[in-house]
A and B are shown apart, each in its own frame.
Chain A
Amino acid sequence: MNEQTIEKLLQKAPPVRTPAGLRKDLQANIELPRCATTHHGPRITNHVFRRWLPTLGFALWFLGCVVVFGLQASRIAELKRANESRQSSLASVEQNQAVQDRAQWLAKELEQLRKDAADVQRLRAEAELLRAQAQEVATLREQNQQLRAELKSQATPPPKPEEDFIYETANRRARTKCINNLKQVGLAARLWAHETKTDAMPNRWSDMIDHLGGPERALKYVGCPGVAPYEILSFGAPETDPTVVFVRCVAHNIVGLVDGSVQQLGDKASVIQKDGKWVFTRVAE
């Protein structure tokens, strides 16, 4: 049996005999929906309401959103206006502050200018005073020159030393004092060279302060009292050459050599500069 035959037989299936009372029972049990007959009006309203309920709900929601949006927008606009007014007031305050700062700066500048002007006035006065003093100095200098000229013209020859006993005595005491001082200086220099083991004279006066008995006592040996300070000719000179002059008293024409001896200069001895050294030499007769 092929498929066509099977399909033909299936399509020829005999109809089923229906029970006799089934039709009447079915017709008797018909229950049509009430909405279609009796309650037409209200159900339509209910139906319309149900149909439009989502739309109405959305419309109410949208209306609520619009109202809220409007309220928010008005609130935002109000806040913006308040913010603008505050910004304007703040700008005015800042402007006033800037003006005040400018005024304070100008006041400070004015005060500084006043001070500068006062300084200028004071400096001008000082300059005037200095000019006046300079003129006075010039005048005094002229007077001094005139007086010196008068003194030269009126000067009388000093008495001869051998004739002036007091002068000679005082000069001899001063010379003796100077010799002692120069010996002390030479001794201190040699002690310093011995302690430092350099075999050379000190390089400055301060090196010999301790060997001259301290700062106060050392002041006695830095020069002839009331005449002139001693002149150190050979700072740092080696003590191996005994002819090198270490210190000299210009007033008494006495020199201290690096070996610690003191020599009187005069017609028979002098100090010369030889190979960059101050050397004591005796004049040959």
Chain B
Amino acid sequence: MTESIEELCRGARAGDFSAASELVAATYQPIYAYLRRLCGHDETAADLTQQTFASVWRSLQNFDGRASFMTWLHRIAHNVYVDWRRKGNRLDAQSDDWWETCAVDQPSPFDRTAERDAAHLLYAAVEQLEEAQRVTVHLHYYQGLTLQETADALNIATSTVKYRLRNALDSLKARMAEPKLRV
């Protein structure tokens, strides 16, 4: 998959429109999911995705291949999201229903109802984290990037990623241990 994305990227850089179209088809879903989870609104996430890929086409010639294309793409999406936040936009709180509806067409990954409820509480707790920790958790756990890729996407050191994740897990563990949230 990674090699094919890199090949498509090279084709798009060479001006192959079909390669660019395939590249969009292969990468737009995780980017949209990332932005949707962060901003909490469908249309906003779609707009941010459009801005992300517009920026990709503008900067595609500058892509030097030192990081993977997906990492580079996440970095652009993160910058677009940060610009959007700087304009004063607020986050929409994720409701439990959204977590239900977002996976309505797919089989639930949770085997038990109790586990599903705990997961919903956990995801809600993630949205309550500090912004830097929240973004880091999204990239590493939700988007499945490695520590190095997360660090490259956020343009920070790997040790900083580890530090943020450690703090995030501690915070989540503490919140999940609270009586009201305990399952």
The answer to whether B24 touches A16 (Cβ under 8 A) is: no
The answer to whether B54 touches A10 (Cβ under 8 A) is: no
The answer to whether A27 touches B21 (Cβ under 8 A) is: yes
The answer to whether B57 touches A1 (Cβ under 8 A) is: no
Beta-carbon contacts of B53-66 to A below 8 Å, as 1s and 0s? 11001101100000
Q: How far is the CB of A33 from chain B (nearest CB, A)?
A: 5
Q: Tell yes or no: B133 within 8 A of A by CB.
A: no
The answer to whether A16 touches B36 (Cβ under 8 A) is: yes
What residues on A are CB-neighbors of B106 within 8 Å?
Answer: 14-15
The answer to whether B169 touches A26 (Cβ under 8 A) is: no
What residues on A are CB-neighbors of B103 within 8 Å?
Answer: 14-15, 17
Query: Roughly how many angstroms separate A17 CA and B104 CA in the complex, as a whole number?
Result: 8
Within 8 A of A (CB), among B125-142: 126, 137, 141-142
Q: Tell yes or no: A154 within 8 A of B by CB.
A: no
Query: Roughly how many angstroms separate A85 CA and B75 CA in the complex, as a whole number?
Result: 75
Residue among B21, B50, B109, B142 making CB contact with A25, cutoff 8 Å: B50
Q: Tell yes or no: A3 within 8 A of B by CB.
A: yes
Query: Roughly how many angstroms separate A22 CA and B13 CA in the complex, as a whole number?
Result: 22
Q: How far is the CB of B51 from chain A (nearest CB, A)?
A: 10
Residue among A11, A26, A35, A36 making CB contact with B50, cutoff 8 Å: A26
| A-B pair number, CB within 8 angstroms | 110
Q: How far is the CB of B24 from chain A (nearest CB, A)?
A: 5
Contacts A16-B32, A22-B49 known; A31 to B123 CB distance under 8 Å? Answer: no
The answer to whether A1 touches B176 (Cβ under 8 A) is: yes
Q: How many B residues, CB 8 Å from partner?
A: 51
The answer to whether B21 touches A6 (Cβ under 8 A) is: no
Query: Roughly how many angstroms separate A33 CA and B173 CA in the complex, as a whole number?
Result: 48
What residues on B are CB-neighbors of A22 within 8 Å?
Answer: 28, 32, 46, 49
Residue among A2, A12, A16, A33 making CB contact with B102, cutoff 8 Å: A16
What residues on A are CB-neighbors of B144 within 8 Å?
Answer: 11
The answer to whether B60 touches A32 (Cβ under 8 A) is: yes
The answer to whether B57 touches A6 (Cβ under 8 A) is: no
Q: Which of B32, B61, B104, B177 has the most CB of A within 10 A?
A: B32
The answer to whether B141 touches A14 (Cβ under 8 A) is: no
Q: Which of B17, B37, B101, B142 has the most CB of A within 10 A?
A: B142
Query: Roughly how many angstroms separate A2 CA and B20 CA in the complex, as a whole number?
Result: 43
The answer to whether A6 touches B122 (Cβ under 8 A) is: yes
Query: Roughly how many angstroms separate A35 CA and B103 CA in the complex, as a whole number?
Result: 42
Query: Roughly how many angstroms separate A37 CA and B28 CA in the complex, as a whole number?
Result: 24
Within 8 A of A (CB), among B44-97: 46, 49-50, 53-54, 57-58, 60-61
Beta-carbon contacts of B11-40 to A below 8 Å, as 1s and 0s? 011110100110011001100110011000
The answer to whether B142 touches A10 (Cβ under 8 A) is: yes
Residue among A2, A3, A11, A18 making CB contact with B141, cutoff 8 Å: A11
Q: Tell yes or no: A275 within 8 A of B by CB.
A: no
Within 8 A of A (CB), among B92-118: 99, 101-106, 108-110, 115, 118
Contacts A7-B169, A29-B54, A32-B20 known; A17 to B122 CB distance under 8 Å? Answer: no
Q: Tell yes or no: B7 within 8 A of A by CB.
A: no
Query: Roughly how many angstroms separate A19 CA and B170 CA in the complex, as a whole number?
Result: 35
Query: Which residues does A use to contact B, with CB under 8 Å?
Result: 1-3, 6-7, 9-19, 22-23, 25-27, 29-33, 35-37
Q: Could you show 22 A-B contacts with beta carbons less than 8 Å apart?
A: A1-B176, A3-B169, A6-B173, A7-B141, A9-B115, A9-B119, A10-B137, A13-B37, A13-B123, A15-B29, A16-B32, A16-B36, A18-B33, A25-B46, A26-B50, A27-B24, A29-B54, A32-B60, A33-B57, A33-B58, A36-B13, A36-B15
| 4 closest residue pairs by CB, A with B | A36-B15, A14-B103, A16-B33, A10-B141
